[in-house]
Amino acid sequence: MTSEISHQPPVAAIATPIGEGGIAVIRASGRGVIEKVQNCFRGKDLTKVESHTVHFGKIVHKDGRVVDEVLVTVLRSPKSYTGEDTVEVSCHGGVLVTQSVLETILDQGIRAAKPGEFTQRAFLNGKLDLEQAEAVADLIHAKSIKAVDAAHQQLEGRLGEHINKFRQQIIDATAMVELELDFIEEDVEFANKEQLRKLLTDLDREIGTLLDTYETGRLVRDGVKTVFIGRPNAGKSTLLNTLIGTERAIVTDIAGTTRDTIDADWSYDGLLFKLIDTAGLRETKDIIEAEGVRRSQKAFEQADLIVYLKDLSQPLHTSEREEIAGFQKRAGETPFLLVGTKLDLAAGRDDKDERIHFDLKISAIKEENIDTLKKLMKQRALENKDYDTSSLLVTSSRHRDALQKAREHIRRAVEALDSGMTGDFLSIDLRSSLRQLGEITGEITNEDVLDSIFSRFCIGK
């Protein structure tokens, strides 16, 4: 990342979703972009207007044909998203007209932008740290209010503030150690060992506190992978349809109707749940259904929340009781809910001797206790997790990995200090920790990492 604007050759792309709409926006940025867009614009001379001004005119094809009436916004360097000269053309929405305006602009010697190229230029020009650039992608892809909140925190630079604080502490510690190395022959001691140890152990604790937010951050960003399992005809598909409010899964009285996993996104109280309806668990000779059962087992292993559904209108046999106990044991630390279904059909049944505890009994058809189930699902999903989303959350596995590695190097430095090793050994681990933190903000990175990050973006951003 640099503080100097690079002024690369101009690129352009449609910045709004493709399709019919009131308006569409084409963004163009780079060296000489204002002059190039002026070549196909009929209206004010864009090369002479002030920055951050909007001008009405027409985009004209090279044969003189009017492509569309537009509003052109001129943003001069460095006060633009990319830091470069930027032009944003607002035209009438619609696939054909928008594409025609873009093609006319590209005909002026402007290259089509790659996915994420505008944000990548913003990063390279020092307008954003790398973790802020990633937050832009998270904001675009967010599917819940909490995910939007978490992305905004990162975009505002709150993670960067923490990382820069950690880096400065390590720089201070490294300076203490390396200054002493410079005067080793004079036997001068600049680093107070206890002071240095406290600095490093405090840093270890602070990084650990930030790392502890990752599991919550991951759920906020990616959603709670919630798997409905149970025997055939237990009401899994009915419950999924009830929660999302539409007929996403086929529901019949025939056992084995669901033969594959069915996914649906459902947002509740600001948190995204990725619901997965699975094939009913049973022995079957049907090849397709057997594959569905195998996928059900795989979904179980990857779940963040497991909801086992038991049909209350049917007796609980020993085999199913053992099956439930087996799933509860396999779930380990993954939250597990045992929910009785078809409560409306179970009237009068005596289940006192069934020796099983249901977390809740519901009727999806009658929507009985469904609101309670929603609250319980959120409560269990976030059990033992810090869900104060006003606090900073680590949401990216890349950031988590870098923080873990930085923390490990700090711990090695403490071990070296305690064992009486010379400062050069401490310095190696301190500098390695510094590099790991630098990879989060982009102070230190490589092209492969950048390509991977910016490939997540849509074209036009």
* Residue 150 assigned as binding residue: no
Is 79 annotated to bind ligand? no
Spatial CA neighbour of 167 closest among 441, 453, 423, 428: 441
- Confirm or deny that 235 is annotated as ligand binding: yes
Looking at residue 348, its pLDDT comes to 57
Q: Residue 461, annotated ligand binder?
A: yes
- Looking at residue 257, what is its pLDDT? 45
Mean pLDDT within 434-460: 80
Scan for tokens 């004209």, then name that residue.
60
Place of tokens 């996915």: 115
182 is in an annotated binding site: no
Q: Torsion angle of alpha carbons 166, 167, 170, 176, nearest 10°?
A: -130
412-440: average pLDDT:
88
Superfamily of domain 11-127: Probable tRNA modification gtpase trme; domain 1 (3.30.1360.120)
The pLDDT value given to residue 251: 46
Residue 458: name the closest of 1, 11, 19, 18 by CA: 18
Domain ranges of the chain: 11-127, 143-455
Mean pLDDT over all residues of the chain? 85
Confidence of residue 353 (pLDDT cuts 50, 70, 90): very low
Is 62 annotated to bind ligand? no
Annotated ligand binding at 318? The verdict is no
State mean pLDDT over 333-345.
92
Question: Is 252 known as a binding-site position?
Answer: yes
Q: Which residue has the tokens 């609250």?
A: 375
What pLDDT score was predicted for residue 72? 98
pLDDT attached to residue 255: 46
Hey, do 11-127 and 143-455 end up sharing a CATH topology, with the first three levels equal? no
Query: What number does CATH give the domain 143-455?
Result: 3.40.50.300
Residue 446 pLDDT > 80, yes or no?
no
The verdict on whether residue 241 carries a ligand-binding annotation is no
- Tell me: is residue 460 an annotated ligand-binding position: no
Q: Which pLDDT does position 260 carry in this prediction? A: 52
Residue 258 annotated in ligand binding = yes
Q: What is the pLDDT of residue 294?
A: 61
Query: Which pLDDT tens digit goes with each residue over 36-49?
Result: 999 999 999 999 99
To the question of whether residue 119 is assigned a binding role by annotation, the answer is no
Residue 255 known to bind ligand = yes
116-130, 139-153, 261-275, 413-427: the lowest-pLDDT one? 413-427
What's the pLDDT tens digit per position in 202-235? 999 999 999 999 999 999 999 999 999 888 888 8
Q: pLDDT category, 137, cuts 50, 70, 90?
A: confident
* pTM confidence score: 0.77
**Token representation of residue 184:** 């080793």
Is residue 378 a known part of a binding site? Answer: no
What's the CA gap between 461 and 458, in Å, rounded? 6
Indicate the pLDDT class of residue 354, thresholds 50, 70 and 90: low
Residue 48 annotated in ligand binding: no
pLDDT, tens digit, 9 for 90 and up, residues 379-397: 999 987 766 656 789 999 9
pLDDT (0 to 100) of residue 245: 87
Q: What is the pLDDT of residue 252?
A: 45
88 is in an annotated binding site: yes
334/455 Cα distance (integer angstroms) = 32
Q: Is 238 annotated as a binding residue?
A: yes
